[in-house]
Amino acid sequence: MTNLNQRTILKVENLKTYFEIDKRFISRQKKYVYAVDDVSLDVKEGETLGIVGESGCGKSTLLHSIMRTVPVTSGRIEFDGKDVLSLNKKELRQVRKDKQIIFQDPFSSLDPRMTIGEIIEEPLIVHGVTDVAERRRRVLETFEYVELLEDFYYRYPHEFSGGQRQRVSIARSLVLKPKLILCDEPVSALDVSIQSQILNLLNDLQKQLDLTYIFVSHALNVIRHVSDRVCVMYLGKVLETADVEELFERPKHPYTAALLSSIPIPDPTVNRVHASIKGELPSPSNPPSGCRFHTRCPYVKDKCINEEPVLEEKSSSHIVACHFSDEIL
C-alpha cells in the first residue's frame, strides 16, 4: 500500500497525446483525436497503479506515451528523476532499460524468426553485455523467474501457447532488470485459467525483484486483484484516482459507480441495481464540452455541460473530477 515515505518513480504532468487526422487539402483545418488529454499521475516505487477504462479511452496510448513509442504532444514525464521527453535517442535507450513494457497480444509481440533464447537475450546484446556466457547465465536466470524450462531456449514462439508466450514476453522485459514495468492488458488475450497464473507470476515477481507496475486493463476484477491504487480513465481524461479498496467500496464518480455495478456478482439471490450508462462512448476527436461524461451521466446538470470539473482531493489520496460527487455518492 502507498505511504508518503515511498519515492515517486514516475511523475506525469499534464500529458497530452493528440493524433492528427483528416488532413484536408482545401480546408487546411487540422482535426485531432484527443487520445490522452491533460493527464497527470504519480507512481510510487514498489506499487501497482491500475488504469481502467473502456476501449478507446486512451489507456494504452498513455502507456505508449510514457514509453515514448508514440509522439507526445505536450506535457512532462519524469522518470527516476529524468525528464523523459527531453532525452535524445541515445539517452532514451538508457532510460528505457529501466522501464519496460509487456504487450497485450503474445502472438504478435514475439519475432517468429527468433528462438526463445534469442528473444530474451537480445536486450542484453543491445545494451552491451558482450560476454556470451554471462548473457546465457542471465537469460537462464530469467527463465527461472518466469518458470520457463531450459529446453525452451532453442525453440520458436509458434511452438508455444498464449500463456507461455506471455511468460517469454515477461522474461524479455525482465532481463534488463528494470524498475518499472508497464503492462498493457497483459492477460486480456489469455484464457481465464491462464490469466490467474500470469497475474500471480507478476505478483511474485514484484515481491522478488522490487518492481513497480502500471497495469492497464478493462477488466475490473483483474484490476482489483493486482492494483494498490486505481486510476479511472474516460475519453483521455482521468476521472478518479484512489486506493483500490477505497475505489471499489466507495466510488465517488458516477462513471466509476456505473462501471462497478456492471461487475457480475456470483450470487443469484443478490438483487442488483444497475446504474446504467446510456449511449455510446463519444468520439475522442470531438469530445463533449464541460465534463466529458455529461452525455451519459444519469445525474447530469447544467453546470456539467458548461464547466469542466477539475480533479479534487475528496479524502486522503482519493481524487475525483466531478462537480457533484459529494451530493450524488
* CA–CA distances in Å: residue 189 to residues 16, 194, 225, 307: 28, 10, 17, 39
What is the 8-class DSSP label of residue 234? Answer: E
- Which SS3 state, helix, strand or coil, does residue 204 take? helix
Query: Which of 38, 54, 98, 105 lies at the binding interface for other proteins (CB under 8 A)?
Result: 105
DSSP 125-181: HHTT---HHHHHHHHHHHHHHTT--GGGGG--GGGS-HHHHHHHHHHHHHTT--SEE
Check residue 23 for interaction with other proteins (CB under 8 A).
no
Judged by CB under 8 A, the residue of 22, 159, 210, 245 near other proteins is 159
CB atoms within 10 A of CB 218: 16
The residues near 313 (Cβ < 8 Å, ≥ 6 apart) are 319
| Bridge partners, residue 20, by sequence | 32
Nearer to other proteins (CB atom), residue 171 or residue 321: 171
- Closest approach, Cβ 125 to other proteins, in A, equals 9
x/- site string to other proteins, residues 112 to 131, per CB under 8 A?
A: xx--------xx--xx----
101 binds other proteins (CB under 8 A): yes
Cβ atoms 100, 170 nearer than 8 A: no
**Residues 167-206: x where in contact with other proteins by CB under 8 A, - otherwise, as a string:** --x--xx--x------------------------------
Nearest distance from C-beta of residue 28 to other proteins, angstroms? 20
Tell me how far, at minimum, the Cβ of 99 lies from other proteins, in Å.
8
Q: Least distance (Å) from other proteins to the CB of residue 21?
A: 17
Residues of this chain that interact with other proteins (CB under 8 A) are 67, 69, 89, 93, 96-97, 100-101, 103-105, 108-113, 122-123, 126-127, 155-156, 158-159, 169, 172-173, 176
